[in-house]
Amino acid sequence: MRRRRLAAELRRLRERAQLTMEEVGEQIGWSATKISRIETSRVGVVPKDVVSLLDLYRVDGSRREELLKLARDARKRGWWQAYSDLSSDYTSYISLEAETTSMRSFGTVLLPGLVQTEDYARAVIRAGLILAPPGEVERRIEVRMARQSLLTQAEPLRLWAILDEAAVHRSIGGPGVMRAQLKRLLELADLPNVTIQVLPFAAGAHSGTSGAFQIMEFPEASDPDVVFLENLTDSLYVEREAEVYRYTVAFDHLRAKAIDPDDSRCLIAKMVAGFE
């Protein structure tokens, strides 16, 4: 996220200086391709390269120090990088999630990873990683549990989760696992930063019939919201403003069709008894 923010700032500074990428490359001795990769956040940029760009763009004072700090922070390793066997797609998602201040999540078939118990997560991950090598399932569970600290840290993530009724009815891992999972939902719903609603079967057709999605919001106003979508073999980040807006409107419609948080708690509590 920091790299993305730095890339956008460097692009704005170049445009303000009225320089093309080719002109910058000629003056610094870089290729235009390198500058393009930096400005689109496809590669990281070391602080000394940022210094070269800031010198060229004549940026000094507090603004210069702010951008150099951003460049240094962008190179810091996150806790998830200790798991070297994780795919780059997954680590990219975790790094974005770690920077998120607010998340709106719609779950269709499964409950979101941030609210899953360990046993529920184990059943889900085992089912999805049919060809997984020994040890990978447990490593994935370990990472998923670590991610959940976002909900209880000093400045916790604000989570608004809308769960299709199918997701809370589907028996994952057996009655005992589901009973514990539903109790966990009730515990999380007590947190001031977590809102849970259930979208009932009676809602019929709705704006989320295309599948689950998450809208991630970030602390800086200059960082636009990102929508995350995932399927069996790939993941997709939606960043275009018009497309993000469509998901935002869809979530608002789902929120209106879902039963309110208090009634959702009552429904989940009744379902706990059903798994006794």
How does DSSP assign 204-252, residue by residue?
-S-TTTT--EEEEE-SSTTS--EEEEE-SS-EEEE--HHHHHHHHHHHH
Of 52, 74, 96, the residue that ends a domain is 74
Does residue 62 sit in the same domain as residue 124? no
**Considering all CA atoms of the chain, what is the largest pairwise distance in Å, rounded to the nearest integer?**
72
- The mean per-residue pLDDT over the stretch 92-99 comes to 84
Domain assignment of residue 53, given as a range? 2-74
Cα dist from 87 to 90, 234, 268, whole Å? 5, 11, 34
**Torsion sign over Cα 141, 142, 145, 146:** negative
User: Helix or strand or coil: residue 104?
Assistant: strand
Last residue of a domain, which of 51, 74, 97?
A: 74
Instruction: Count Cβ atoms below 10 Å from residue 258 Cβ, excluding itself.
Output: 22
Residue 43 CB burial class (10 angstroms; 0-12, 13-18, ≥19): exposed
181 and 215 inside one domain: yes
Tell me if 222 sits within 8 A of 5, measured CB to CB.
yes
Residues in the chain: 276
pLDDT at 83: 64
246 and 270 assigned to the same domain: yes
Which of these three, 45, 74, 103, is where a domain ends?
74
> Are 122 and 227 in the same domain?
yes
170-174, Cβ contacts within 8 angstroms, sequence gap of 24 or more: 170/109, 170/110, 171/275, 172/110, 172/120, 172/123, 172/124, 173/119, 173/120, 173/122, 173/123
Kindly state the DSSP code that residue 43 receives in the 8-state scheme: S
Confidence class of residue 238 from pLDDT cuts 50, 70 and 90? Answer: confident
Same domain, 139 and 216: yes
Kindly state whether residues 23 and 122 are assigned to the same domain: no
Is the domain of 19 the same as that of 154? no
Query: Is 96 in the same domain as 180?
Result: yes
pLDDT digits (tens, 9 = 90+) for 54-82: 988 898 888 888 888 878 777 666 666 66
21 and 125 fall within a common domain? no
The helix (H) or strand (E) run that includes residue 267 is helix 261-274
Query: pLDDT for 105-160, tens place per residue?
Result: 999 999 999 999 999 999 998 888 776 676 788 888 999 999 999 999 999 999 99
Return the pLDDT at 77. 63
Taking residues 167-182, what's their average pLDDT? 94
Strands 158-164 and 102-107: parallel
Please provide the average confidence, as pLDDT, over all residues in the chain. 88
Percent of the chain with pLDDT over 90: 48
Q: What is the CATH number of the domain that holds 108?
A: 3.30.870
Q: How far apart are CA 52 and CA 151, in angstroms?
A: 40
pLDDT higher than threshold 80 for residue 85? no
Count structural domains, the chain: 2
Residues 218 and 259 in one domain: yes
Structure tokens at 129: 């990683």
How far apart CA 273 and CA 271 sit, in angstroms, is 5
Supply the DSSP symbol for 130.
Answer: T
Say which amino acid occupies 263. Answer: D
**Same domain, yes or no, for 114 and 166?**
yes
Q: Is a pLDDT exceeding 70 seen at residue 187?
A: yes
Please check whether residue 236 is in contact with residue 140, taking contact to mean a CB–CB distance below 8 angstroms: no
Instruction: Report whether 166 contacts 108 (CB < 8 A).
Output: yes
Residues 247 and 113 in one domain: yes
pLDDT confidence bin for 37, thresholds 50/70/90: confident
